[in-house]
Amino acid sequence: MKPVFIAGPCVIENMDVLEQVAQRLVEINAKYDVDIIFKSSFDKANRTSISSYRGPGLEKGMKMLADIKSKYGLRILTDIHESCQAQPAAEVADVLQIPAFLCRQTDLLVAAAKTGKIVNIKKAQFLSGEDMQFPVQKVRESGNDNVWLTERGNMYGYNNLAVDFRNIADMKKYADTVIMDCTHSVQRPGAAGGKTGGNREFVPAMALAAKAFGANGYFFEVHPDPEKALSDGPNMLYLDDLEAVVKSLL
Say how far apart CA 119 and CA 143 lie, in whole Å: 12
CATH at 96: 3.20.20.70
What is the phi/psi pair of residue 37, to 5°? -85, 130
Per-residue pLDDT of the chain (250 residues; tens, 9 = 90+): 789 999 999 999 999 999 999 999 999 999 999 999 999 999 888 766 787 778 889 999 999 999 999 999 999 999 999 999 999 999 999 999 999 999 999 999 999 999 999 999 999 999 999 999 999 999 999 999 999 999 998 877 667 778 999 999 999 999 999 999 998 877 665 544 444 556 778 899 999 999 999 999 999 999 999 888 887 677 789 999 999 999 999 9
DSSP helix/strand/coil, 24:
helix
Say how far apart CA 63 and CA 105 lie, in whole Å: 26
Number of domains in the chain: 1
pTM, entire model = 0.91
Say how far apart CA 14 and CA 90 lie, in whole Å: 21
Spatial contact of 92 and 66, defined as CB atoms under 8 Å apart: yes
What is the span of the domain harbouring residue 196?
Answer: 4-249
